[in-house]
Structure 1
Amino acid sequence: MKKHIFAIILIGMTILAWIISWPHLPNTIATHWSGGTVDGYSSKLNGMLSMVGVMIGTYILLNVVPKIDPKKENYRKFSKSFTMITYSILFVLFIGNIDIIATGLGYDLPINRFSELIVGILFLVIGNYLPQCKPNFFVGIRTPWTLSNEEVWRKTHRFGGKVFIVLGIIMCGSIFAPAAWKSYIVLTVVLIGVVITMLYSYFVYKKEMKI
């Protein structure tokens, strides 16, 4: 039960923030930004339901996954890492909710101008814990080659952890780039990271299998 306390508190604080702010929010609120500029709006009801729903849904999903995974026994071997990754994702969603609420109330928070920093920090956290993930079908770098060989999984996740850390640093640094470039920088580095990691797992597999 202890491992659920932080998540429950975050979700509870999010719901409470919406309830307290509800009478003061306009009927239409900003819900999406790109390069620090609002490019998406929603009714406050849809905004609340979608944001809180994503947060609760993510939490439920991350708690169900270890129970239905055919390799569920492996989750015990990296339970701390899995918990920290879960906490990090929920915290980012919490920040997103608070940002939308604050903006709707008329506050100009720097969060929406530095979303790349928040995502970058999330990548740094995931990169730090990724090497500790054990083989499973839901969490980590799941390619046909990592799922077919435990040594390929281990090496790929050790390499992938470093890739995520580099991506995180680049994303954090992208806050200094011109606003028009930020989205392209993020998409480019993520695409490069995915391709490099997949190719690495393939070549490690070939080496391990001596193909």
Structure 2
Amino acid sequence: MKKLNKIMLALSILPTLLTSVFLFFMNDTVPMHYNASGAVDRYGSKYENFILPAIILFMYAFYMVYTKIYTKYSTNSVEKINNNVKITAILVTSIIAAFNILQLMFLILAILKPDSTTFTDNVPFIINTVMGLMLIIAGNFLPKTKRNSFIGVKTSWTQSSDLAWYESNRAGGIAFVVTGVLTIIESSFIKGINSTIIMVTILLISIAVAYIYAYVKVKKSA
């Protein structure tokens, strides 16, 4: 855990350091937001590139504080607590690593294409591919969580028993993995904002099916 926390800390600080260096090569004003069609609809100060690094640092700080509270006040066994904290650390580290990739992409675009009026099709592809990988990672670890109020699929009925928890998080994990794989595949063929719309649609449908499946199975076994 100590090694993983050190990696997480390094990845949390890295975007701020990279952004500080990249600012020297940027125009004072750069594209900051794109509409649904991919056209730039707002320009802003180059210093706004610190927003995502600030969010990453906040995520790290929130994780550290919340895990300390969870570890101190949870009524679960030490084994379950350590298991859930470790899985959370892996997931948060994966998310922060993904944000590092996105931040680097945004910084490179701000330098190479400061006067661009639209983003290229490669931008949604990279974003969706990273999102797909994050979903696959999350889906693989979700079923390994133990019943708790800290991480996982948490509803009144998933908390009713260990079986209900396992079935729900297993179904949720499968939904995430399926969505992640389909997102990576469809992003290779469908360009622009349509790719993102399809990703969100697949995710919502997969989660809905997973919830219904888990609920029915748990009720039948009750």
Shift of 1:45: 2.0
Q: Who is 2:105 aligned against? A: 99
Provide the TM-score with structure 1 as the length reference: 0.86
Q: Who is 2:87 aligned against? A: 81
Residue pair 2:91, 2:137 contacting (<8 A) in 1 also? yes
Q: Who is 1:141 aligned against? A: 153
Structure 1 CA distance for aligned equivalents of residues 48 and 75 of structure 2: 35
1:126-165 pair list within 5 angstroms: 126-165=138-177
Letter aligned with residue 83 of structure 1: A
Shift of 1:152: 0.4
Match of 1:183 among 196, 202, 205: 196
**What is the root-mean-square deviation in Å for CA atoms of aligned residues?**
2.5
Residue pair 1:152, 1:208 contacting (<8 A) in 2 also? no
Structure 2 CA distance for aligned equivalents of residues 198 and 58 of structure 1: 27
Task: Tell me which moved more, 173-182 or 36-45.
Answer: 36-45
Residue pair 2:22, 2:107 contacting (<8 A) in 1 also? yes
Within the alignment, does 1:71 sit opposite 2:74 as a pair? Answer: yes
Shift of 1:35: 7.6
Letter aligned with residue 86 of structure 1: V
Task: Tell me which moved more, 28-37 or 142-151.
Answer: 28-37
Letter aligned with residue 141 of structure 1: V
Q: Who is 1:52 aligned against? A: 53
What is the percent sequence identity of the aligned residues?
A: 21
Measured at CA, do residues 168 and 9 of structure 1 come closer, stay the same or move farther in structure 2, by a change above 3 Å? same
Provide the TM-score with structure 2 as the length reference: 0.82
Q: Structure 1: state its 5+ residue gaps.
A: none
Q: Structure 2: state its 5+ residue gaps.
A: 114-118
Letter aligned with residue 160 of structure 1: G
1:99-118 pair list within 5 angstroms: 99-106=105-112, 110-118=122-130
Residue pair 2:9, 2:60 contacting (<8 A) in 1 also? no
- Aligned residue-pair number: 208
Shift of 1:183: 2.4
Q: Who is 2:184 aligned against? A: 172
Residue pair 1:145, 1:201 contacting (<8 A) in 2 also? no
Match of 1:43 among 30, 42, 45: 45
Measured at CA, do residues 113 and 39 of structure 1 come closer, stay the same or move farther in structure 2, by a change above 3 Å? farther
